[in-house]
Amino acid sequence: MAMQTQAKMIPVLDFSNLELNPGTSSWLSARKDVCRALEEYSCFVAELGNKIPLELHNTMFSSVGELFEFPMETKRKVTSERPFHGYISTAPFQRMLIDNATSTDVTQNFTNIFWPNGNHHVRESTNSYVKLMAELDQMVTKMVFENYGVGAYYDSHMESTTHSFGILKYIEPQKTGTNKGLDNHTDKHFTSILHQNHVKGLEIKTKDDEWIGFDPSPSSFIFLAGDGLQVWSNDRITACIHRVMLTENLETRYSLGLFSFNNKTICVPEELVDEEHPLQYKPLNLRDYAEAQKALIAHQKELSVKAFCGV
């Protein structure tokens, strides 16, 4: 698979023409590219081409626009007991985050909040869209596990993984007086996949401490390593530091994300600990980590995974 470099440096991997079946030569070559990109950049752009039909992209972004137009009391009905989930409105953005989004009952309950008589088109589109992203996540995760020689652990990892689906709307900077959409952070889950409309803003921090922008297109998704993957890989892959800056935006920025949570305790596989890679982390429970993070949020502090469970 050819690896190009987008804008300045984010690697772009072209999955559009590939039938990726485990064990084939194209799978093995993609696996190598995926892991190299994650080790060097903590992220990569997955170009899906026609695997994401333009109509599905358009339906998703127009529905998201509609969802945020509903009255506050309707949006507040999107709730969850999971930390940081449900509907949140802060100065620069509004977000709805639903857990276990690959369940069609969950997407049905979600759409029924807004359209009590049902909205078949939005529900079906959301199901197809979440499925597409979850399949991308599963494929990349399988490649990562295989690459480090522990493919045998992939099935049990995925069995205890759930995916949360997030939709975000950023308020235009001229209305808030700040161009900061989202502060520098790493994601507190295992992996993330983001997809957005045409309004730029997502920036990734490189290992040389340079910020580089993501150049969006309807068929490109960005895959980011989260804190969970950093722990699991014993620092072979580090979590992607990213932020959203809304400079020059005259239009509303919407982004969609699929976030994977491993619901068991994440332990570094013993195969990934050796003299060159001494154990860096105690076992990590992502829910406890999110709760600890939440407790600090009032103080505007971010808890690093090293501080939480570093050895």
Q: Is 216 in the site for ligand AKG (CB under 6 A)?
A: no
Q: How far apart are CA 106 and CA 126, in angstroms?
A: 11
Site for ligand AKG in 175-194 (CB under 6 A): 182, 187, 194
Residue closer to ligand AKG by CB (options 83, 257) is: 257
Closest CB to Fe ion: residue number:
187
Total chain residues near ligand AKG (CB under 6 A): 11
Beta-carbon contacts of residue 197 (< 8 Å; ≥ 6 apart):
61, 216, 252, 253, 254, 255
Q: Which of 78, 202, 239, 241 binds ligand AKG (CB under 6 A)?
A: 202
Closest CB to ligand AKG: residue number:
255
- On whether the CB atoms of residues 244 and 203 are closer than 8 A, the answer is yes
- Distances in Å between the Cα of 232 and the Cα atoms of 113, 190, 226, 240 are 37, 9, 10, 14
Q: Is 293 in the site for ligand AKG (CB under 6 A)?
A: no
166 binds, among ligand AKG, Fe ion, none (CB under 5 to 8 A by kind): ligand AKG
Q: How far apart are CA 18 and CA 16, in angstroms?
A: 6
Q: Is 227 in the site for Fe ion (CB under 5 A)?
A: no
C-beta neighbour count of 299 within 10 angstroms: 7
123 binds, among ligand AKG, Fe ion, none (CB under 5 to 8 A by kind): none
Smallest separation, CB 94 to Fe ion (Å): 15
Site for ligand AKG in 152-171 (CB under 6 A): 166, 168
Site for Fe ion in 158-197 (CB under 5 A): 187
Stretch 27-66: interaction string toward ligand AKG, x if CB under 6 A: ----------------------------------------
At CA 306, angle to CA 150 and CA 167, rounded to 5? 80
Which of 45, 61, 66, 3 has the alpha carbon at shortest distance from 240? Answer: 45
Smallest separation, CB 232 to ligand AKG (Å): 19
**DSSP-derived 3-state class of residue 123:** helix
Residue closer to Fe ion by CB (options 99, 187) is: 187
Q: Is 196 in the site for ligand AKG (CB under 6 A)?
A: yes
- Distances in Å between the Cα of 23 and the Cα atoms of 19, 87, 137, 144, 246 are 12, 42, 18, 13, 42
DSSP state of 274: S
How big is the chain, counted in residues? 311
Site residues (vs ligand AKG, CB under 6 A): 166, 168, 182, 187, 194, 196, 202, 242, 244, 255, 257
Site residues (vs Fe ion, CB under 5 A): 187
